[in-house]
Amino acid sequence: MTAPKHFERRQKGPAADLIAAFNYHKARRLDQAEALYRKILKKAPGNHDALHLLGVIALDRGCAEQAIELIGKALAIQPRFPQAHSNLGNAFLASGRTANAVGSYRRAIALDSRLAEAYTNLGKALTDQGEFTAAIENCLRGAELAPGMADAHNNLGNALRGAGRLEEAAAALRRAAALAPQRADLHANLGNVLLDLKQFREAAGSYQRAIAANPNYTRGYFGLATSLRFLGEIDAAIDNYRKAISLHPNQAIVWNALGAALRSLGRFDEAIDAFRRATAIAPDFADAYRNLAACQQLAADEQEIAHVAKLMAREDISLEDRAAAGFALGKALDDADRFDETFAAYAQANRNFHDALVARGQGFDAEALHRSVDETMARFTPEFFAARRDWGNPSELPVFISRHSPFRHKSGRADCGKSFAGIRRGRTQ
């Protein structure tokens, strides 16, 4: 936290209180800073610096609406105040008002074209809106202006991840974690990208570093558990899911993932209980209903079937969620011997799933399929197999193959992402 430039000119008189308050603030002695800011405002109610910085303290304490009010008052007095516009953007972002945040960051940049934090936070807001190209451009500018700012590289990495540029995202997030190794969130964000890259052991290491930085970091345990599931270490994954739940019991996404892990070990009663916990916390959690249907737990409950059918038809939830609801409905109807309705539900679920793939740029590509088949035919010739005749195990015993598939985020990734405040609607990376 750096002092606004005009503070440098204030060295004596009443303004000394402002500098003393700011120094308390920078040292994170927020109670002393707040007391001095309020003392200043009693003498000078129009002091825009004190109003602005009181708003920053409110935001630090999680009071976003109070921050918006206080910083708004400061800007009404002094509208050409770039740091205040930038911090107002932070408050809007914290309150979920992303479009307002974008406007505030752009006003800050218009007033000060070298305000690095405004560029990087604008990039974060644009990432939240799915505008990845613009987000990357602004994050790159922030990182150029402040190469030692961990958040600049973190926000750049998240924007690159959203754009599917995973190797570049991993590089940016490694830089962020190296700049601030004490921050658990940076290690977890790197872990998420490493999961996308299927580098599961490396992802586990990142989540372990997140936990080392903050032993009570729920995202770290959740991410580590997901990595371990991909590695086939299911018992260890279950232990880490339970640790995450012990820290924050009301996280539906964790209960759902725990249930999937338990089901893969054949512990069906425990799995069903976990899925039920997930739907109790988040009644519109489509993937948990899909998992319950897979355990034949929906067919006899007409009210629950009707609820899942409504979920499949909702347009205010993601296509992935609608697809999951449709597959849950199809399985429940099939188990109830309602076959005509079953086909209709599966057909709609498949349409939703197809549309979700297309929206992510992963739709069917006939030319790519032709190339893949041609390459396979060219590679696996009789000579190829003859050269490997002695490979493998000569046993004729059957092999059972189980595929573990952890909860997929709306974006299609196995996301141990940023928020555990229930199941989110829309795209909030």
Nearest to 297 by CA among 269, 332, 348: 332
* Count of the separate structural domains present in the chain: 1
- CB–CB of 293/283 below 8 Å? no
Using the structure block, give the residue that is written with the tokens 């920078």: 26
**pLDDT by residue for the chain (429 residues), tens digit each?**
555 555 544 445 457 888 999 899 989 999 999 999 999 999 999 999 999 999 999 999 999 999 999 999 999 999 999 999 999 999 999 999 999 999 999 999 999 999 999 999 999 999 999 999 999 999 999 999 999 999 999 999 999 999 999 999 999 999 999 999 999 999 999 999 999 999 999 999 999 999 999 999 999 999 999 999 999 999 999 999 999 999 999 999 999 999 999 999 999 999 999 999 999 999 999 999 999 999 988 877 888 899 999 999 999 888 999 999 999 999 999 999 999 899 999 999 999 998 888 877 777 778 888 999 999 999 999 999 889 888 888 888 887 775 544 444 443 344 554 444 433 333 323
| Residue 122 placed within a domain | no
Assign residue 298 the CATH number of its domain: 1.25.40.10
Q: Is residue 14 one of the residues assigned to a domain? A: no
Q: In this structure, is residue 286 part of a structural domain?
A: yes
Asked, for residue 407, whether it belongs to a domain, the answer is: yes
13 falls within a domain: no
226's tokens: 């997901």
Domain, as residue range, for 263: 250-363+403-423
Q: Which two tokens stand for residue 193?
A: 């990208």
Has residue 263 been placed in a domain?
yes
Contact between residue 217 and residue 186 where contact means Cβ atoms under 8 Å apart: no
Residue 282 lies in a domain: yes
Is residue 278, in this structure, part of any structural domain at all? yes
Measured distance CA(90)–CA(98) in Å, rounded: 9
Alpha-carbon gap, residue 363 to 419, rounded angstroms: 28
CB 327 within 8 A of CB 349: yes
What token pair was written down for 396?
């004729």
Q: What is the pTM of this model?
A: 0.79
